[in-house]
Amino acid sequence: MSIRMRRRLGGRLEAIDADHTHLVATTDEPDWYAEQLTAIKAPFRIVGPRELREAAHVLGQRLLQAGTKPFEEGLGG
Q: Whole-angstrom Cα distance, residue 59 to residue 30?
A: 11
Contact by Cβ (8 Å): 31, 6 = no
What does the pLDDT average to over 25-54?
94
One-letter identity of residue 40: I
Residue with more model confidence, 2 or 41: 41
The radius of gyration of the chain from alpha carbons, rounded to an integer in Å, stands at 15
Residue 36 phi/psi, 5-degree rounding, is: -65, -35
In the chain, where are the structural domains located?
A: 3-68
51 Cβ contact list (under 8 Å, min separation 6): 30
- Per-residue model confidence as pLDDT tens digits over 63-73: 999 888 676 65
Band (76; pLDDT cuts 50, 70, 90): low
pLDDT confidence tier of residue 49, bands split at 50, 70 and 90: very high
As a whole number, the mean pLDDT across the chain is 88
pLDDT score, position 45 = 95
